[in-house]
Amino acid sequence: MIKYANFIILFILLSVGLLLKDNIHISTNLLSLFATKESVEKLNIANNLGYSKEMLIAVKGFDKRAKEEVRQISKELKKLKYINFVQSSIVPTQEIQEYYKKYYPILATFDDANITQEQVSQKLQALYDAQLSSVFYSSINKNDPLSLFELQNIKRTGISNKGEFIALGEYGLLVRVMTDISPSQMNEAKELYRDVHTLLSKYPEVVAFAPFFYTVENSTKIQEDVQWIIILSTVVLLLIYYLLIKNIRLLSQTVIALFSSMVFASLVSTMFIENFNILSLAFGMSLTAVSIDYLLHYHFHNFYATSQKIDKNVLYGYLTTVIAFGIFSFIPIPLIAQISSFAVLSLSFAYVLFTFVFPLLGLKKYEEVRKVESEKREKKVPALLFFVLSLALFTYSAFNFKLDSNIRNLDYQNLHLLKAEKLFKSNSGAKMTPVIVQASTQEKLIEELHALKILLPDTFSLATFVKDKQSCKTRQEELKTYDFKRLNRLINEEASKIGFKDAYFKDAYSFVSPLASCDVKELDVFKTYGLSLYHDENIYYTMALVSDVKKIQKLPFITNINVKEMFNKSAQKMYSDLLYFGAMVLIIIFVLLLVSVRARFIYAINYILFPLSFTVAILVSLDAINIMHLFSLIILIAIGIDYGIYMSNSKKPSNTMLAIKYSLLSTVAAFGVLIFSTIVALNSIGVVITLGCGAIFILIKAMR
């Protein structure tokens, strides 16, 4: 029965998981891993205002074919699910025209000069003559025959046109589509992506872009990439384990133990850690493979064949690693904190299994190996030399160190979408940046938008269409005091004298009464211009497009939603947090190593310093260092600690070296294969781990 302990443990864990499945919560929101809580809130408000929900479609050229395609595409797009509206013409929508009609007296300019009878007569005579002599038909505005009111033609800033069509610079015609999809809605995004691409496949020269295209294309690519890497890694790992351990029973028990550790850590993490992310889960699972070195050390030192309860080296290695990850679990970077917590749980569980359960399984004894050449100390380089070399490499790195703060660089580099995005950006006219404007009331919000317009007159916002309450009231007063009744009488008298049809102008200027209220209720009609209004319990929000963010960003009611800048800021904070915690972890590791290896401190510390310095020196020589490089360096520390302790305290160095070599191979198989990934984040991990393992290999071969 005891021989099946491993299986029983796994069975219990899986049963617990099944029973408590409703308590398991996994977050799929990747944004929350990289952006600060404040940035996520900002982006949520921006999404509610329609930001990132726009899809742009460009049709090359301005000829008849292009126009025909625009009409056809617009028509077909309107039939699709998740499409809010489609705009290919600068002609205002029916709703906006209704709005203009209702608020015409308030919005139009008004010539309030007192008009004499003679002036009325002259103007009407001109209209009369034009009806008889003009070759082009022109209608008479019987409501405003003297043209006292005039409404300026309003156009969205940054949008050019060719005739009635919206143009994308000199490239061609543009179709603007507002969708209901924000980049985080994966299933809906996939459905709309498929429908749009099926539709556009009939038009080979058409280019489309929407932020949610990245969600769909990149996640598909990442999924394919990860699947391939998992298969490759599993095959390589199993092959290595089998070839090297040559013990099927041990191999199967090890795989079961690792799996149980992953299940244990997954259950605890997803039940007790808030918003535990799927990426942290996947990464944490891979990290569990590091615990194989406990098994290998035990196996090659025949720990399971002795009555020994504890192997001090493995214990020290385990404790140092767990303490390092334990500290990192408090770092305010959700991804690293979650992975570190997972690592503490899974490594602890694996340690317990390998140390206390495996001796009960009755595993076969390991046959001693012949002496390897690495034990010949005289051919090896002194530890101090490696220590000095490590310091030299660190110095070199410090002078060439460059940080990559653009978190988007970590993603899969979707060249085809980046190119499409660039096409729209480079051909759009004025570079306008969206900002969120907020206020406690709608009235105050409109006032703030007008204040913004005074600072930056080319600002495009609801203030372009809505007067602030004060100006509206002033206009209302102006119109109420103007004598329109007298004017109407004069017009009708003079019109009759000139020969106009009787009572043709009987309603002239009657549109000024009653006047529309200054509390505008119809702001929703401007959604087609990308101008929405959103309010939660206490605050009203809207979007404004501005030409110079720097000039207005200090205004208290403005929030800049430049995603790139947001991520840059959060990346800067991540780097400083990581450096702070990294330094703390290194100090504690130094202390722990001093306690566990004493005299061979320099020798042991080299297993951390040399892989780090070697890897960083190569990285800085090649490119800028990103956050995933730094995180992988932490994993490298965790790996190095164990080896340092094992090698320093080993009574049978040949067996220890063999255990380390196998462990290194398994680490390369688990993480190193990521070097083949096309996703920069995963590739970065692969590069660091491969280089680091290479450096450790050099140490075990060459250091004494």
Here the tokens at position 197 are: 């691409």
Closest approach of other proteins to the CB of residue 166, in Å: 12
If the CB atoms of residues 113 and 135 are measured against other proteins, the closer one turns out to be 135
Q: How many other C-beta atoms lie within 10 A of the C-beta of residue 434?
A: 20
CB 703, CB 603: distance < 8 Å: yes
If the CB atoms of residues 162 and 190 are measured against other proteins, the closer one turns out to be 162
Closest approach of other proteins to the CB of residue 153, in Å: 6
The count of C-alpha atoms lying within 13 angstroms of the C-alpha of 389, restricted to the half-sphere facing its C-beta, is 19
If the CB atoms of residues 68 and 112 are measured against other proteins, the closer one turns out to be 68
Task: Name the site residues for other proteins (rule: CB under 8 A).
Answer: 62-64, 67-68, 71, 75, 91-92, 94, 97, 127-128, 131-132, 135-140, 142, 153, 162-165, 499-501, 504
Backbone angles phi, psi at 277, to 5 degrees: -95, 150
Closest approach of other proteins to the CB of residue 520, in Å: 21
Closest approach of other proteins to the CB of residue 130, in Å: 10
Q: Measured between alpha carbons, how far is 697 from 657 in angstroms, rounded to an integer?
A: 9
Closest approach of other proteins to the CB of residue 143, in Å: 10
Q: Measured between alpha carbons, how far is 700 from 483 in angstroms, rounded to an integer?
A: 100
DSSP class of 88: -
Nearest to 257 by CA among 594, 523, 13, 570: 13
Sorted by sequence, the CB contacts under 8 Å of residue 41 that are 6+ apart come out as: none
Nearest to 608 by CA among 628, 590, 632: 590
Closest approach of other proteins to the CB of residue 70, in Å: 11
Nearest to 683 by CA among 417, 409, 419: 409
Q: Measured between alpha carbons, how far is 588 from 144 in angstroms, rounded to an integer?
A: 84
Please report, for residues 99, 158, 174, the alpha-carbon distance to residue 90 in angstroms, rounded to integers and kept in the order given.
16, 12, 11
Closest approach of other proteins to the CB of residue 429, in Å: 16
Nearest to 494 by CA among 94, 109, 65, 127: 127
If the CB atoms of residues 65 and 377 are measured against other proteins, the closer one turns out to be 65
If the CB atoms of residues 67 and 299 are measured against other proteins, the closer one turns out to be 67
If the CB atoms of residues 72 and 654 are measured against other proteins, the closer one turns out to be 72
Closest approach of other proteins to the CB of residue 77, in Å: 13
67 CA to centre of own chain: 35
If the CB atoms of residues 63 and 224 are measured against other proteins, the closer one turns out to be 63
Closest approach of other proteins to the CB of residue 200, in Å: 19
DSSP assignment of 583-608 equals HHHHHHHHHHHHHHHGGGHHHHHHHH
CB 447, CB 469: distance < 8 Å: yes
If the CB atoms of residues 501 and 521 are measured against other proteins, the closer one turns out to be 501
Closest approach of other proteins to the CB of residue 479, in Å: 22
If the CB atoms of residues 9 and 58 are measured against other proteins, the closer one turns out to be 58
Q: How many other C-beta atoms lie within 10 A of the C-beta of residue 280?
A: 25
Here the tokens at position 125 are: 């005579």
